[in-house]
């Protein structure tokens, strides 16, 4: 898994927000099992709405520095539609669920020029997982956001 420069991650998520960032190979399937706790006690997700979306981005000035991958991120042109990611294996009382990564559903095709093995700046996506908790008694409704950042590269076999 790639290591990202802290300044690069800050561009996407801000200074103190959680982020899941990774480098994927074209057509790779991946997942992350997430579990939320407070002081060792699972966060009850009952009644919460969980959604995850990503959007194609353009990166530039990619460099592999001693502190990790560094690059600038900007909007992709033409503006693409957001891609909804699958949330599976939800266990509300355990505060857990699985974020499913199925890169083949993202609309990247093997002939994408940013997927070429010699591409300087690979395909990129950013987005978020949003967990919306309803109001309960005196506690108002609140949202928890986890930012997402993925680079997609060629394995040199497909492209």
Evaluate whether residue 70 is within a structural domain. Answer: yes
159, pLDDT greater than 60: no
HSE at residue 96, side-chain half, CA atoms within 13 A, is 10
Kindly give the residue spans of alpha helices, DSSP state H, lying in the chain. Answer: 6-13
Residue pair 44/93 in contact by the 8 Å Cβ criterion: yes
CATH number at 132 reads: 2.60.40
Quick one: pLDDT at residue 96?
A: 97
Taking the C-alpha atoms of residue 125 and residue 48, their distance in angstroms, rounded to an integer, is 25
- Closest among 140, 143, 147 to 45, alpha carbons compared: 143
Question: Within a domain: residue 159?
Answer: no
92, part of any domain? yes
Q: What is the DSSP string of the chain?
A: -PPBPHHHHHHHH-SS--EEEEEEETT-EEEEEEE-EETTEEPP-TT-EEEEEEEEEEEEEEEEETTEEEEEEEE-SSPPPPEEPEEEEEEGGGTEEEEEEEGGGGT--TT-GGGSTT-SS-EEEEEEEEEEEPPBTTBPPEEEEEEEEEEEE--SS--
Residue 82 lies in a domain: yes
Residue with the two structure tokens 């987005």: 127
Q: Does residue 120 lie in a domain region?
A: yes
Q: What is the mean pLDDT of residues 50-69?
A: 87
- Assess if residue 1 is contained within a domain: no
* Mean pLDDT, residues 7-20: 76
Using alpha carbons, list the distances in angstroms from residue 87 to 40, 54, 117, 123: 23, 13, 31, 23
Query: What pLDDT digit, counting tens, does each position of 113-158 carry?
Result: 777 777 778 888 899 999 999 998 998 999 999 999 888 877 766 6
Number of domains in the chain: 1
Q: Is residue 23 situated within a structural domain?
A: yes
What is the domain range of residue 31? Answer: 6-153
- pTM reported for the whole predicted model: 0.86
Contact 54, 85 (CB under 8 A): yes
Residue 33 inside a domain? The answer is yes
């Amino acid at each position: 898994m790639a290591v990202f420069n802290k300044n690069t991650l800050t561009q996407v998520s801000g200074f103190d927000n959680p982020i899941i960032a990774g480098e994927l190979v074209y057509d790779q399937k991946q997942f992350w099992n997430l579990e939320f706790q407070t002081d060792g006690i699972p966060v009850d997700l009952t009644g919460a709405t969980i959604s995850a979306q990503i959007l194609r981005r353009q990166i530039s000035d990619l460099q592999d520095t001693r502190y990790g991958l560094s690059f600038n991120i900007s909007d992709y042109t033409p503006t693409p539609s957001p891609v909804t990611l699958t949330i599976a294996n939800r266990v509300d009382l355990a505060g857990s669920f699985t974020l499913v990564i199925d890169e083949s559903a993202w609309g990247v095709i093997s002939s994408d020029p940013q997927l070429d093995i010699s591409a300087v700046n690979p395909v990129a996506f950013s987005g978020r997982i949003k967990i919306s908790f309803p109001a309960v008694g005196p506690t108002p409704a609140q949202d928890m956001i986890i930012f997402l950042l993925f680079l997609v590269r060629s394995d040199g076999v497909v492209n």
